[in-house]
Chains A and B, each alone.
Chain A
Amino acid sequence: MTFRKYLVLAGVTVFAAAGDSMLSHGMKQAGNISLHNLASVIVALTNPWVAAGIVLLLAFFASYMNALSWADLTYVLPATSLGYVLLALAARFVLHENVSPLRWLGIALISGGVGFVAGGPALTSQHHAEETEQVVATAAASGAER
């Protein structure tokens, strides 16, 4: 794992957390949308919070694709779930909301899960037909780093 790869994982985490919270904030303002009134979907998309959330989710998507090119799905997903912890900590220390003991337990469980997966290898599947040598070299290099 290089610094650049940690940066990509951090990007996945932060963009997803920020994008999701902006989107849900915007959807609360936009109100109900329904299958019978498709115009309401368009109206929701013009809400600035919804629009900003979508832009951030596009940034999330680019970093997510980047991470999936060199790491397993079952590595990337838990590693980037720290975003939920970030949201809860932001609620407590920025918005001064009350965080219940159950939520603190949730934060501890997620952090523990991230610790478990981070201790293992990032890549175990070999789908790189054209670039197998390169993957082996990368795996050997990251093994040497550890």
Chain B
Amino acid sequence: MNQLYTWGGILVIVLASVVGDILLARAMKQVGDVHALWRRAGLWSVVGKVLSKPNFFLGVMAMAVAFFSLLFSLSWGDVSLVAPAAASLTFIGNAFAAKVFLHEKVDRRRWIAAVLVAAGVALLAG
């Protein structure tokens, strides 16, 4: 039963993280390079522009869901399983989602990077 809770928790963390990452990345792409904007118009217009994007708030909400699922899962399951399993699966999920929803060119180089990092993260927990 505890194991079911743990893997259910991991699934919720991964889904919420991927949704959050995609929404936040989309919001920041709508804002544009903050260094250029900061230099041109100052810090407050950067903050204002970020806060004017609905995707930002939706992304933050998804991240909050991921964060609290992590807190709960850490108390049910072993940290050496939950943290790396969630992180590892999030890398793979994000590569798929970034290609589909953000139209990033996830070429062979980026797939290899995502798989290597996901495998590495999983091994570090072993």
Contacts and interface: CB of A to CB of B under 8 A. Distances in A.
Interface of A: 4-5, 20, 24, 27-28, 31-35, 41, 44, 64-66, 68-70, 72-75, 77-78, 81, 84, 87-88, 100, 102-103, 105-114, 116-117, 119-120, 124-131, 134-135, 138
Interface of B: 21-22, 24-26, 28-36, 50, 71-72, 74-76, 79, 83, 87, 91, 94-95, 98-99, 102-107, 109-110, 112-117, 119-124, 126
24 contacts: A24-B79, A27-B74, A34-B72, A65-B24, A66-B34, A66-B35, A72-B102, A75-B110, A84-B87, A105-B123, A106-B120, A106-B124, A107-B120, A109-B116, A113-B112, A113-B115, A116-B109, A124-B105, A125-B104, A126-B103, A128-B30, A130-B32, A134-B32, A138-B33
Contact of A117 (B50, B103, B113): B113
Contacts of A131: 32-33, 36
A24 B83 contact: yes
A125 B117 contact: no
B68 to A, nearest CB: 8
A contact face: mostly helix, strand, loop, or mixed: helix
